[in-house]
Amino acid sequence: MLWPLQQQVQDLMAQMVVMQTRIRQLEGRLAKNSKNSSKPPSTDGLNKPAPQSLRKGGQNPNGGQKGHSGTTLRQSAQIDETVNHFADTHCSACQREMVDHAIAETRQVLELPKLGIRTVAHQQWRSSCTCGAVHLGAWPVGVNAPVQYGASVKAMAVHLNQHHLVPLARTTQLMQDLYGVRLSQASIQSFAQEGASALHATVAEIGLAVQGAGVVHADETGIRVKGKLHWLHCAVTSTLTWLAPHAKRGTLAFEALGLLQGIKGVLVHDGLASYKGLDCTHSLCNAHHIRELVYMHEQENEKIWDPWAQEMIDLLLQALGEVDLAGGPLNEPRQAWFEARWSTLLERGEALNPQTRRTGTSQDASLGARGRLKQSKAANLLKRLR
């Protein structure tokens, strides 16, 4: 009688292991946010995570740090308006008239100028010659209509809408409140298109300069274009930023945009499979790694077993600090120390999170949709770090 029950218990235990794995996956999915994964902050919703700093407490005192120049207000030599505040004309003690006047102290108040629209009238003159010929003055470039908005109005509207990401409706309201200019949303959109056309040559030059840089950072983030998901691709250096939207995220977008294929130096990215096909030197982004390590430390109960992920974060930040302080690569002994420490932490993490192996059965519960073995997030991260 007990023999069938023993088999039933084994089956139930196997089901429980599968369910526990599934529960951990779902709990981990709920625990993801912009601080411990690549999810954008807009997906955090109302349950936004509290701000966290990777710096340890007590490293820096409160207030301005040593070497910080500060931004204390100072009096200016350029005075636009002077308001005099005179003393009484007669002495309050003896009632005699005051005779010796001098400035005792000067205080400055920084104010914004009065904003408003300025109308510039352009007049075309006609001149006639005694021979009967008539000559007209030439209009300046850009003056094409009896009444139109000037370059400064267009530039401010585009600056607010495109650079500061102020919505169209609020941009129109700001332009009216600040300057008394009544713009339509369609006008602002046409100004943006006009600016984009004028910047085609500049964007092309930025792209060429990025391609020729020794180190380029690439990434992509989801955006909405007419209600549909697109991807905003970026390639940046320490001084340049190149941006372009595309409906696809990977190889098709790279080929259509045509920038990343021209990079022959070091390309820093998040390990997306599409980047691997590019002919360049690859470097994985440690900012992405640190976010995933934060997730591992918070969600995988590693505080109970082995804090390898937190120690990996500390090691990466220590290396960054030493490289910044040195202003370049570290010497070989120091590099060897970091590599040895790195390998030790990887071994500890891999011992706790081994790669899933095939069982040899036809019905392998670990197989994914494409026949690949599904690995835990920790195992995938460790493989990338390795």
Q: How far apart are alpha carbons 166 and 175 in whole angstroms? A: 11
pLDDT per residue as tens digits for the range 119-171: 999 999 999 999 999 999 999 998 999 999 999 999 999 999 999 999 999 99
Sort 293 into a burial class: Cβ within 10 Å, 0-12 / 13-18 / 19+: buried
Radius of gyration from C-alpha coordinates of the chain: 33
Q: Report the pLDDT value the prediction gives residue 371, as an integer from 0 to 100.
A: 64
Q: What share of the chain is helix, strand, coil (3-state, %, to 5)?
A: 45, 10, 45
Residue ranges of domains in the chain: 149-198, 203-264, 285-355+366-386
pLDDT per residue as tens digits for the range 297-332: 887 655 556 789 999 999 999 999 999 999 999 999
Q: How far apart are alpha carbons 190 and 213 in whole angstroms? A: 34
pLDDT per residue as tens digits for the range 99-124: 888 999 999 998 988 889 999 999 99
43-57, 250-264, 313-327: segment of lowest average pLDDT = 43-57
Closest CA to 207 of 235, 179, 181: 235
pTM equals 0.71
